[in-house]
């Protein structure tokens, strides 16, 4: 999957990390995100960063008491997370292998669903759940 630097996205998620510099490195190793914008703060953290994977973009920053709070990571799946669509089952399998090798916690091994998706889910080192699958929201069932 190549990084699209010219395309704009209309939906971004923003994530606070206790160690945003380490999170950016981990997201690159585990998933292939490329940091396309980064402004560091005066304390060794990240004030604002953008990372892209294909046409997906995430914003992230250091959780340094700027008024943001987030729930503590739980041991089980929590029903919330980030979903990224990929083109093939082989890409799902490959991201699973890379993420687990990089230290992700397995939530769902690559699997086929009753509704035709093929997906996997992992939890990153700070507790965010990431799902990769071949379903592209908005496409009719069976088209993917």
User: For position 129, which CATH number holds?
Assistant: 3.10.180.10
Split at pLDDT 50, 70, 90, the class of 140 is low
What is the rounded average pLDDT for all residues in the chain? 86
CATH assignment at residue 43: 3.30.720.120
* 88 and 122 belong to one structural domain: yes
pLDDT for the residue numbered 75: 62
pLDDT for the residue numbered 51: 96
| pTM as predicted | 0.85
Mean pLDDT along residues 124-143: 83
pLDDT for the residue numbered 118: 96
Tally of domains within the chain = 2
Gyration radius of the chain over CA positions: 15
* 50 and 91 belong to one structural domain: no
Q: Is residue 17 part of a domain?
A: yes
The residue range of the domain holding 17 is 13-62
What is each CA distance from 126 to 18, 27, 86, 91, 112, in whole angstroms?
A: 8, 11, 23, 23, 27
Q: Is the pLDDT of residue 43 over 60?
A: yes
pLDDT for the residue numbered 11: 73
Least confident segment among 70-79, 87-96, 113-122: 70-79
Structure tokens at 103: 């230290």
Q: Is residue 74 part of a domain?
A: no
Least confident segment among 10-14, 31-35, 57-61, 69-73: 69-73
């Amino acid at each position: 999957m190549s990084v699209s630097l010219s395309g704009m996205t209309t939906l971004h998620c923003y994530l606070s990390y206790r160690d945003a510099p380490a999170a950016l490195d981990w997201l690159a190793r585990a998933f292939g995100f490329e940091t396309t914008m980064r402004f560091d703060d005066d304390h060794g953290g990240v004030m604002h960063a953008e990372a892209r994977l294909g046409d997906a973009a995430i914003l992230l920053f250091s959780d340094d008491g700027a008024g943001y709070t987030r729930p503590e990571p739980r041991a089980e799946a929590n029903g919330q997370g980030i979903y990224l669509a990929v083109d093939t089952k082989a890409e799902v399998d490959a991201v699973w292998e890379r993420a687990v090798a990089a230290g992700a916690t397995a939530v769902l091994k690559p699997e086929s669903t009753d509704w035709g998706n093929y997906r996997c889910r992992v939890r990153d080192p700070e507790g965010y759940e990431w799902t990769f699958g071949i379903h592209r929201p908005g496409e009719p069932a069976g088209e993917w």
